[in-house]
Amino acid sequence: MKRYTVKEIEALLPELGGDDDPRWEMLRGDERKSVRALLARFMKQKEREKAMRQRWEELMRYERELYAAGIERIAGIDEAGRGPLAGPVVAAAVILPPDAYLPGLDDSKRLTAAKREALFAQIEACAVAVGIGIVSAAEIDERNIYEATKQAMAKAVHALSPSPDYLLVDAMAVPCALPQRRLIKGDANSVSIAAASIMAKVTRDRLMKDLDRRYPQYGFSRHMGYGTPEHLEAIRRYGITPEHRRSFAPVKEAAGAEN
């Protein structure tokens, strides 16, 4: 049998069939270190792809139940930014097509910033619809964070075109007439909610980076408005901005100290 060059093997590997393909025996018997390293990398990549496909199938279970019941447009809803001391709360609603496959999609908190950015672009490209809802720090102070989050979710749903038939929501109930199901840790259990978690997180992070350019002394691009020691020290040193949530205790204390 022909002895392939390393470059030829690299081109051949994606074309090989199952274990009964006789070329596998030849490749596994090749004692060249370069070939062994190439095979190891290839098999590792195949295992990663298999794991991503298995994770996708796990995340699709709620959507598959709804598709089987004749429901076509399923929107996943999630939010980002309930806990920070500054900046808006952002919600996203995403309708994915039934045949979508986004390798590596998962709860946004499990992903690196670079992976979230890459998936953000992929979701935008393949989604049937994406809606974003934003509620400002001032509105959070007026309503409280729980009600503001529900308002952001409702805005995201209303921004969808076409409208969804059904909502899968991370933990909360969206104030609208559409049928919906609340899933605890939904961003780790549903592809639609996981996609929404990424869209919400990336959108909010970008807004906080914009705020960082306006208020560079607070370090918003590093902590995204959360109550880190750096952020708390900046509040004590420079006071609060219009983007701070005055109803949150550490901000309220700083505001009181200013008076």
Residue 15 burial by CB count (10 A; 0-12/13-18/19+): exposed, middle or buried? exposed
Any known ligand binding at 170? Answer: yes
Question: In terms of DSSP bridges, do strands 180-183 and 166-170 run parallel, antiparallel, or are they unpaired?
Answer: parallel
Beta bridge partners of 77: 93, 169
Residue with tokens 């995201």: 156
Any known ligand binding at 107? Answer: no
Beta bridge partners of 182: 169
Question: For the chain, first and last CA: distance in Å?
Answer: 86
Any known ligand binding at 79? Answer: yes
* Distance between CA atoms of residues 30 and 216, nearest Å: 58
Please, are residues 179 and 166 in contact by the beta-carbon 8 Å criterion?
Answer: yes
Give the Å distances, CA to CA, from 135 to 2, 180, 188, 209, 239: 66, 22, 24, 17, 22
Alpha-helical runs (H) found in 159-248? 191-214, 220-223, 229-238
Task: Give the residue ranges of the annotated binding site.
Answer: 78-79, 170
Task: Give the residue ranges of the annotated binding site for a divalent metal cation.
Answer: 78-79, 170
